[in-house]
Amino acid sequence: MMRFLPWLYLLAAFTFIYLPVGVLVLFAFQEGSLPVPPFNGPSLRWFGEMLADDDLMAALRNSVLVAFGSSAVAVTLGFFAAYGLARHVLPGSAVIRGLLIAPLTVSYLIVGLGLLIVLTRTGLGLSLWTAAIGHVVINLPLAFAIIYASMGAQQQNAERAARDLGAREAQVIALVTVPMLRPAIAAAFFLSVTLSWDEFIIAFLLTRFDVTLPVEIWSLLRSGLSPQLNAIGSFVFLISVAVVLLLEVTLFRKPRP
């Protein structure tokens, strides 16, 4: 009996972990109009309704734009900051590092609230752009930390060699540093994309008419349970999983250069 106990626990834990996801995905294929037992399907009806919903498709487009746009900015800023701090001696560099990491310690709600106050006070208004700015704020620390952590002496030697051979700084960065750090940069980018893609509260506070997918899902939730929500939820989950698996592959693919 004792021998099986760990496996029983593992089974119970996985059941608990996958119960909501399983129910979500299963009832996305529900034929009827309520996503609760009994299951009568499978039917692709609700996926069809999802694709036919213009608001939802617009939100999907917005989410992709915000996720990729904000991640690109976060990774670019994070990379240059990491390069500057790792390769140049700056006074107060510990303070700068602390400042760049600081947003990680503050909950998203508070980051969003602060930006909301500033944006409404200054009359700049809310749009997809402001949501993207918020997402850069939360993803920049992660991108910076991941890239900074992977900048070792090994790359520095290669950079010195390139410089000795007459490469200008821009050439060193483009031809030596970036290619050598590709796994870390890719990891930072994909992690930012998933976090932005799933993020709700900042997008909810900082968008007005054009919204991202989680915000659109939120407003659909008000009208109660519906298999259409299951279909969208399953779809969002699938995209996140795909990106995470991509991350797993880019991060852990050996051998590194």
Kindly identify the residues of this chain, within the stretch 186-205, that bind other proteins according to CB under 8 A. 194, 197-198, 200-201, 205
Tokens of 201: 């509260």
| Short-list 69, 77, 115, 70, CA closest to 207 | 115
Q: Which of residues 31-70 bind other proteins (CB under 8 A)?
A: 34-37
Contact 122, 53 (CB under 8 A): no
Contact 22, 35 (CB under 8 A): no
Supply the minimum distance, in Å, between the C-beta of residue 137 and other proteins: 5
Of the pair 55, 169, the CB lying nearest other proteins is at 169
Q: Which of 15, 18, 152, 154 binds other proteins (CB under 8 A)?
A: 18
Residue 222 to residue 183: CA distance in whole angstroms: 41
| Selected range binding other proteins among 48-56, 107-115, 150-158, 175-183, rule: CB under 8 A | 107-115
| Selected range binding other proteins among 47-55, 154-162, 174-182, 230-238, rule: CB under 8 A | 230-238
Amino acid letter for position 257: P
Q: Which of 46, 50, 78, 181 binds other proteins (CB under 8 A)?
A: 78
Contact 76, 185 (CB under 8 A): no
| Short-list 105, 243, 256, CA closest to 184 | 256
Supply the minimum distance, in Å, between the C-beta of residue 51 and other proteins: 18
